Amino acid sequence: MPVIEVNDLTKTFRTYKKQPGFAGALKGLLRREYEQVAAVSNVNFTIEPGELVGFLGPNGAGKTTTLKMLAGLLYPTRGSARVLGYTPWERHDGYRRQFALVLGQKNQLWWDLPARESLELNAKIYGIPADRFARTVAEMSELLAVRDKLNISVRELSLGERMKMELIASLLHQPKVLFLDEPTIGLDVVSQKVVREFLKHHNATQQTTILLTSHYMADIQALCERVIIIDHGKISFDGKLSEVVDRFADFKLITIQCDGADGCSDESLKKYGDLVERIPGSIKLKVKRDRVIPVCKALLDELPVRDIDIEEVPIEDVIRQIFAR
């Protein structure tokens, strides 16, 4: 049975159109003009227990709006959603104790208090026994490498350390569903890696269902087998991450190290594929997937190739092309 079921979920906002200048402000006092903006439009998807799904889209695509509706922070204009058998915006206490929402740009910890005290407050709110609280905090802080930071005021922590504390606070009550909105935004490479490994471990050991939005494709590649792509409020793709590449990138990149590369004209290379990059001693070609093997054979037969490398198109480029469409 799916943990998350979304059917025709739609959210529109009414925005005020102000005319420019002082005259426009006066006109707005007498008669205001509004327009309806669809942030999310007829979204449908289901997520099974224990899945870790990437939720992708450009800025303004409707990702955060969708997460806020699933967390019960926003009422939809129409449509329905069920999470753990509950309707999120009805805000039942039983539901609120079983999910967590982490927004990369928002804080839930008290800035002037040490992180441990905020965690203790959360433990009291959720009725977590003292022994379980101590065990959970010790385990998570060790995995996130912030055990020695628990007694430091939150405002004195680095951005990466604060996000790690936010994750501990969100997972303290062991939720069955976790919504993550840009959890690694602004973090350095090391902190991103630690957070990714922690989420992967937590998902594997606790079977927590996770819906993750991120603009860092390294997060998606490391964590998610399945992705949902949303653009202009509509779902444009729902499937395995590998299918994104197969569907939207029907070519591969072939790089050859060649002693005689400088003597090959751009025109002569067109018979192999599209020239992507050329530097002394090296040529990179873009070749259709079904022609990769014959092209490699031809390159090896016809040119003095020292080394050859075949690689997939970077997933960032594929997603960028999808958004551009």
Q: Is the pLDDT of residue 190 over 70?
A: yes
Name which residue leads in pLDDT, 154 or 260: 154
Kindly report, residue by residue over 169-189, the tens digit of the pLDDT: 999 999 999 999 888 888 888
Mean predicted confidence (pLDDT) in 152-175: 91
Name which residue leads in pLDDT, 241 or 30: 241
Q: Is the pLDDT of residue 51 over 80?
A: yes
Across all residues in the chain, what is the average pLDDT? 86
CA 3 to chain centre: 19
CATH architecture assigned to 4-8+43-246: 3-Layer(aba) Sandwich (3.40)
Name which residue leads in pLDDT, 215 or 315: 215
Mean predicted confidence (pLDDT) in 298-310: 85
Q: Is the pLDDT of residue 165 over 70?
A: yes
Per-residue exposure over 259-271, b if at least 16 CB sit within 10 Å of its own CB, e if not: eebeebeeeebee
Position 33 scores a pLDDT of 76
Position 87 scores a pLDDT of 95
Kindly report, residue by residue over 92-142, the tens digit of the pLDDT: 999 999 999 998 777 888 888 999 999 999 899 899 999 999 999 999 999
Kindly report, residue by residue over 7-32, the tens digit of the pLDDT: 999 999 887 677 777 776 777 677 77
**Percentage of residues in the chain having pLDDT higher than 90:** 42
Q: Which two tokens stand for residue 17?
A: 């159109």
Return the domain boundaries, the chain.
Answer: 4-8+43-246, 249-324
Q: Is the pLDDT of residue 246 over 80?
A: no
175 within 8 A of 208, measured Cβ to Cβ = yes
Q: Is the pLDDT of residue 296 over 80?
A: yes
Position 260 scores a pLDDT of 64
**Percentage of residues in the chain having pLDDT higher than 70:** 96
How many CA atoms within 13 Å lie on the side-chain side of 273? 26
Kindly report, residue by residue over 254-274, the tens digit of the pLDDT: 888 887 666 677 777 788 888
241 within 8 A of 221, measured Cβ to Cβ = yes
Q: Is the pLDDT of residue 69 over 80?
A: yes
Residue 59, helix vs strand vs coil? coil
Residue 228, strand partner residues: 55, 238
Q: Is the pLDDT of residue 289 over 90?
A: no
Name which residue leads in pLDDT, 18 or 225: 225
Going along the chain, which residue ranges are E strands? 4-17, 33-47, 52-56, 78-83, 99-103, 177-181, 209-213, 226-231, 234-240, 251-258, 274-279, 282-288, 305-311
At 231, is the pLDDT very low, low, confident or very high (cuts 50, 70, 90)?
confident
**Single-letter amino acid code for the residue at 92:** H
Per-residue exposure over 130-147, b if at least 16 CB sit within 10 Å of its own CB, e if not: eeebeebbeebbebbebe
Mean predicted confidence (pLDDT) in 315-321: 72
Position 261 scores a pLDDT of 60
Position 144 scores a pLDDT of 92
Mean predicted confidence (pLDDT) in 33-61: 88
CATH number of the domain at 249-324, please? 3.30.70.980
Backbone phi, then psi, for 191, in 5-degree steps? Answer: -65, -40
